[in-house]
């Protein structure tokens, strides 16, 4: 690879990393062409960009990115490396997990997710369980709606309950005044007879 080609390759990697919030580096070594194509196809369907890169070029590109110090990931850059960029924090981890149900690879080398570094394949399960932004927003909305739904439900049921109580109370109120004058008349008749 010529120096100009290396400069171009580093710039391509930098362009991928520039605004990336979710960065995974995986080991795809050992996957044949068919399995590798299948992995890339599944990644594309899940909106995950996959690029096989040279470790030295990846490290140089990461060193040039401002705002993030990727140096914690550098020791994991050995052997075959595939850079995975996604919008959803757990999408690459779930893709790797799903693919590994049938294969030994890919293996997670390192990841940068939600401003935290994860180094080693032992972090794969933890990364797969990270909730995506959409999932967290959905849970928060669900939690906020729950009390509101209870209040709305109570308010919707309350008029029926008030009306039922009013109907039960109304006949009793009507009967009480009707009995009262008769009782008063009887007591006045008894008093006048004496």
pLDDT-derived band at 169, boundaries 50, 70, 90: low
Q: Are strands 49-53 and 116-119 parallel, antiparallel or unpaired?
A: unpaired
- Using alpha carbons, list the distances in angstroms from residue 183 to 15, 159, 191: 96, 36, 12
Confidence category of residue 161, pLDDT binned at 50, 70, 90: low
User: Has residue 120 got a pLDDT over 70?
Assistant: yes
What residues are paired with 26 via a beta bridge?
82, 108
Q: Please report the DSSP string for 44-96 in residue order.
A: HHTT-EEEEE-HHHHHHHHHT-SS--GGGGGGG--SSEEEEEESSTTHHHHHH
Average pLDDT over the chain, rounded to an integer: 80
* Higher pLDDT pick, 76 / 158: 76
Residue 65 CA to residue 85 CA, distance in Å, equals 15
């Amino acid at each position: 690879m010529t120096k100009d080609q290396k400069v171009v390759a580093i710039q391509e990697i930098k362009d991928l990393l520039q605004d990336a919030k979710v960065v995974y580096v995986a080991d795809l070594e050992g996957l044949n062409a068919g399995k590798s194509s299948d992995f890339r196809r599944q990644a594309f369907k899940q909106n995950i960009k996959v690029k096989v890169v040279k470790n030295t070029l990846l490290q140089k590109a990461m060193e040039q990115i401002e705002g993030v110090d990727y140096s914690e990931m550098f020791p994991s850059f050995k052997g075959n490396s595939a850079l995975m960029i996604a919008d959803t924090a757990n999408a690459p981890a779930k893709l790797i997990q799903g693919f590994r149900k049938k294969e030994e690879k890919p293996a997670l080398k390192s990841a940068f997710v939600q401003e935290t570094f994860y180094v080693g394949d032992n972090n794969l399960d933890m990364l797969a369980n990270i909730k995506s932004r959409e999932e967290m927003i959905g849970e928060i909305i669900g939690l906020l709606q729950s009390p509101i739904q209870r209040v709305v439900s109570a308010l919707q049921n309350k008029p029926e309950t008030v009306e039922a109580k009013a109907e039960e109370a109304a006949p009793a109120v009507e009967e009480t005044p009707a009995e009262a004058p008769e009782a008063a008349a009887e007591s006045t008749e008894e008093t006048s007879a004496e």
